[in-house]
Every structure is written in C-alpha cells, then in structure tokens.
C-alpha cells in the first residue's frame, strides 16, 4: 500500500524521497518532519558534517493546502555541503574500508573510484527516510498509534533493565543526547564515546524501538511476505550498519522453556506479560511492540585498518575520511521512521487506503468492537 523510494548522494545537491500510497486528507505538519530531521542530526558522537547541515524538508508534491491529496508525496532535503564539494578536485579513493560497501559495490558496478559507492551507501540517505517516516508517523498518530525508541547500549555501556512502559522510557530518551533513558548509563555512554574518539575508533550499540496504541491484527499469518515481523525486520535491517534484530526478548526466549516464555491469557484477553514483544503469528496482538536492533561500529575510523590499495594491488591502510564516532542515537531515530513506514503500510492494508476520515472511522469502529 505504502511505498517509499529515496535517491541522492551524500554530497550531491539533495536527498529526495517519494512516498506513494498516502491516503488523502492527512493534515501535514512540516515542522514535525523537520523536528524528526533535527533529532536525527543531533546526538553525542556525531561528526563535523552535522555542523554544516541543517536539514529541512521541502515538500514538492502530493500536499495541497497543508493536506495530502492521495498523490505521491515528493520531498527533498538539500545537502548544504554540496557547495563545498562541487568545485573540489578529489583524487580517486582506491582503498576500500573493511565493513563498508566500498569494495563489494565497486566490484559489482565496475567502479574504480570508491567514492561513487560511498556517496550512495552513506547513512546521509537516512535523512530522506526520516522525512517519509515522519509523515507515516503523522498518519499513525491520527490513528492513536505512537512510536518511540531509546538507546540501550553504546559499546559496553549498557543500561539496566527497566520495567517502565514504552511511552515513559522513550519520553525520557528524548531528553538525552545519547538517547538513553537512564542518566547513569548515559554518562557511561558519553565517556565511552570520548574514549573511542581519543583512540581514533568508532562504536556501535543496541537500540530499542517501541510502538504502542496498536490494535491487534496488523500484518497476517496467512502468507510469508505479509507477516509483519518479517516486514519490520526487512525495513529495519536495511538501515546502514544495523546487523541484528529481535522482537521482544527473542534471544533470551530461545533458551527458556515454552511455559515460561508464552504470555498467558486471562479473562477479557488480558496478558500480564509481553515476552512476545507485541507480535504473534506475524500480527500485532494489541500489546506494545518491542524491537531490539544491533548496530555495528561505523567502518570509517581514524586508526587505520588493514586493507588493499586497488590502484596498486598492494597491502595498504585505510585512509581516514571524516565520520561520526558513534551514530547509534541517530540510527534510533531512523529506526523509528522505518518502523513507522511499515506500521502505516499495515494499517492501510487493514483499513483501506484512500481517505483518512474513512480509515479513522473504521479504526474507531474496530476499537469499539
Ligand atoms: C557518513 C560519513 C559522514 C557522516 C554521514 C555518513 O559524512 P561526511 O563524509 O560528509 O563527513 O556525517 O552522515 C551524514 C552526513 C548524515 O547526515 O547522517 C558515511 O560514510 O556513511
């Protein structure tokens, strides 16, 4: 129902995005899109590029008088750094960074200058995703569904488990420059980032994305490619540097017996636990959705890593290009955007996709039933 495409390179004129399938009549808050873009740019551990950019969306189509008209929504986020690079003579990059798209992309497309791969592989592209996700989030919000996230770990700084509901945890995370709801852990995360910066290194971490206010039955068990867990996994794993995912405490559940894993049901359909993470049979079950993501450390490091120089075929060390030390807090915002797109897609699939007021009526009817 909802399809999103992005185009653009990190140092090209702009990132662009088309969101196809948004229903007509949704009130579009462009400032709220910019607020998500601002969140994505902020966070302790970001590099110098973020001082150059001030991301703001330009709505180019699909919105009239502040409302969607059912047509594809076209959005653009200009790259301010474009002006600094377009006249610059840059020698070709020939030393692939291990862990980056550089080498595989060059082999695949027959490219000699690795920059041509890196420019599109760059996580700068996620500014476009966040613009689209912000719009999906506005549709979900009209339907009473909210999405948030928090950073659970950076390097070895890991927050203790907290039993708070998702809105509380994600709300506290909004106030933290590392996106962590636990201030003692947030301090350890900042210290870990400082240590990595001094060592010329980079850090990954884990992110929790949550959604609440969900009705049961988004997604379906009837066909493999319509199962919502699989759709979420695909969208979230497509975020640059995300390498692992679990729904609920899936890896812990794998080592416990079934009678201690499955959430017992009580009168009125009440569950007292949510070890399924809000997902049963590839569908939402009405409980909050919990998704945990693992992000690898960024492959661009000041301290060189062994590689080859493709120009000479000789052993070489990676050359440093400007980068973030840690982008886990930014990736959490991107993860919210991708989850919002998948959930909005599933919502439109369930309730029909032409007009917001009809969708909302159907949801209200369903929620009363
Ligand atoms: C990135 C490298 C850095 C990051 C960039 C992702 O960019 P630059 O090479 O211009 O310094 O800042 O992320 C962003 C620009 C962004 O807005 O998120 C990379 O190699 O992936």
Yes or no: say if 25 and 62 are a contact pair by the CB < 8 Å rule: no
Q: How confident is the model at residue 57 (pLDDT cuts 50, 70, 90)?
A: very high
Atom 16 (ligand 1) nearest CA: 124
Residue pLDDT, tens place only, 226-252? 999 999 999 999 999 999 999 999 999
Q: What are 146's strand-pairing partners?
A: 212
Counting from 1 in the atom list of ligand 1, the atom nearest the Cα of 322 is: 11
Instruction: Tell me, in angstroms, the distance from the centre of ligand 1 to residue 119's CA.
Output: 9
The arithmetic mean of pLDDT across residues 181-194, rounded, is: 98
What is residue 168's three-state secondary structure? helix
**What was the pLDDT predicted at 353?**
79
Question: What is the residue range of 15's domain?
Answer: 3-368
Domain CATH number, residue 203: 3.60.150.10
Nearest CA to ligand 1 atom 19: 122
- Using a 6 Å cutoff on CB, does residue 124 contact ligand 1? yes
> What's the structural domain count of the chain?
1
Q: Atom 15 (ligand 1): residue with closest C-alpha?
A: 124
CB of residue 321 inside a 6 A radius of ligand 1:
yes
Task: Please state whether the predicted TM-score (pTM) of the whole model is above 0.85.
Answer: yes
pLDDT band at 19 (very low <50, low <70, confident <90, very high): very high
What single DSSP character describes residue 262? Answer: S
Average the pLDDT over 156-182 and give the result.
Answer: 97
d(CA 91, CA 197): 27
Q: Are 118 and 240 in contact (CB under 8 A)?
A: no
- Predicted local distance difference test score (pLDDT) of residue 369: 82
Q: What is the mean pLDDT of the chain?
A: 97
What length is written for the chain? 369
pLDDT at 329 over 90: yes
């Amino acid at each position: 129902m909802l399809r999103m495409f992005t185009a653009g390179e990190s140092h090209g004129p702009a990132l662009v995005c088309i969101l196809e399938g948004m229903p007509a009549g949704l009130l579009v808050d462009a400032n709220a899109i910019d607020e998500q873009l601002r969140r994505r740019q902020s966070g302790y551990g970001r590099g110098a590029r973020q001082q150059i950019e001030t991301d703001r969306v330009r709505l180019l189509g699909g919105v009239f008088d502040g409302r969607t008209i059912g047509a594809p929504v076209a959005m653009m986020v200009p790259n301010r750094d474009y002006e600094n690079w377009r006249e610059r003579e840059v020698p070709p990059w020939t030393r692939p960074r291990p862990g980056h798209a550089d080498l595989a992309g060059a082999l695949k497309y027959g490219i000699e200058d690795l920059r041509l791969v890196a420019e599109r592989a760059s996580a700068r592209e996620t500014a476009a995703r966040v613009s689209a996700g912000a719009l999906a989030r506005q549709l979900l919000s009209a339907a009473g569904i909210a999405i948030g996230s928090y950073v659970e770990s950076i390097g070895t700084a890991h927050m203790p488990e907290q039993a708070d509901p998702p809105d509380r945890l994600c709300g506290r995370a909004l106030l933290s420059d590392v996106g962590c709801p636990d201030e003692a852990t947030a301090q350890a995360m900042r210290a870990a980032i400082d240590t990595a910066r001094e060592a010329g290194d980079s850090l990954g971490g884990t992110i929790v994305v949550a959604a609440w206010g969900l009705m049961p039955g988004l997604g379906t068990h009837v066909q493999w490619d319509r199962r919502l867990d699989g759709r979420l996994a695909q969208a979230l794993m497509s975020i640059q540097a995300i390498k692992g995912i679990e729904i609920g405490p899936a890896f812990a559940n794998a080592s416990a017996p079934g009678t201690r894993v499955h959430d017992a049901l009580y009168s009125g359909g009440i569950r007292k636990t949510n070890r399924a993470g809000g997902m049963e049979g590839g569908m939402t079950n009405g409980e909050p959705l919990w998704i945990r993501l693992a992000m690898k450390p960024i492959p661009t490091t000041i301290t060189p890593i062994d590689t080859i120089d493709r120009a000479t075929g000789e052993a070489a060390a990676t050359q440093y290009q400007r980068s973030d030390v840690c982008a886990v807090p930014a990736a959490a915002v991107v993860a919210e955007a991708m989850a919002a797109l998948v959930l909005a897609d599933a919502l439109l699939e369930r309730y029909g996709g032409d007009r917001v007021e009809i969708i909302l009526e159907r949801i209200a009817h369903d929620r009363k039933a």
